[in-house]
A = this chain, B = another copy of it.
Amino acid sequence: MGIDCVNCPLRANSLFQDMSPNELEFMRDFKSGEIEVEPGEPILVEGQGSPRLFTVLDGMGLRFKALEDGRRQVLNFVMPGDFLGLQAGVGKEMGHSVEATTRMRLCVFQRADFFSLFSIQPSRAYDVTWIAATEERFLGEALASVGQRSAIERIAWGLVQIFERARLLGMTEGNTLFFPYRQQDLADTLGLSLVHTNKTLAKLRERQLAAWIDRQLTIHDIEGLRKLAMVGRGPLLRERPLM
């Protein structure tokens, strides 16, 4: 059922840290299967627990929180290699939902096995903590963007984050990226209205900084975007663990 971790296509990507033979052995055992999810389908639901955790093998999705009256905050775009369900893994329930945007393939782990990871695989437990801390850091940066930056700065910031992440994953071709979301999704990510997001994207196009047309995101001047958004080139994470 599914791919053997030994042949995991993600591991081939140099972005992800090597595993020791011992770790690899453990992960083969820890992995309980694979599932496919169709576009629009929920993977994890805010306020609910989950008996399973996932690693994204393929496809893209969204993490988001909903307010009671329908407003929605997108927390992050989900890409291959992302680990999903940690909050339900260590806690009682998820603080946000996750849903598929494209068709996705997910590697499945059982929550029931999760504690064994801590007791018999300290290095993998450390990696889980690394992942949690890194996600926390990202949310801090997103919060700073939404709280402090102007609309055009926010969008520039968002596009830089997205493109750089995708580039490290090898999902870009030259300066373009298949980016299968709606403008509404980006608006909900950055705390802007759809209309204003649309108009601000037009400005970035006019300024020859970036164009997002027809699910193709093209970055014409990443340094210009960086400067506009005031993103320091960040601690360029060379390698990250893969669950």
- Name A's interface SS: helix
Copies of this chain present? 2
Contact B68–A230 (Cβ < 8 Å): yes
A14 at the interface (CB under 8 A from B): no
A47 to B128 Cα, complex, angstroms: 22
Q: Chain A 125-163, CB within 8 Å of chain B: the 1/0 string?
A: 110111011111101111110111100000000000000
Interface core residue of A75, A130, A137 (most chain B CB under 10 Å): A137
> Is A91 positioned at the interface, with any CB of B under 8 Å from its CB?
yes
Query: How many residues of chain A are within 8 Å of chain B by beta carbon?
Result: 51
Residue in A122, A149, A230 whose Cβ sees the most chain B Cβ within 10 Å: A122
Give A90-122 as 1s and 0s: 1 = Cβ < 8 Å from B's Cβ atoms: 111101100000000000000000010011001
Known contacts being A140-B139, A143-B139, is A129 close to B90, with CB within 8 Å?
Answer: yes
Known contacts A125-B118, A125-B122, A136-B135: does B130 contact A90 (CB below 8 Å)? yes
Contacts from A to B (Cβ < 8 Å): 47, 65, 67-69, 71-73, 75, 86-87, 89-93, 95-96, 115, 118-119, 122-123, 125-126, 128-130, 132-137, 139-144, 146-149, 188-191, 230, 232, 235
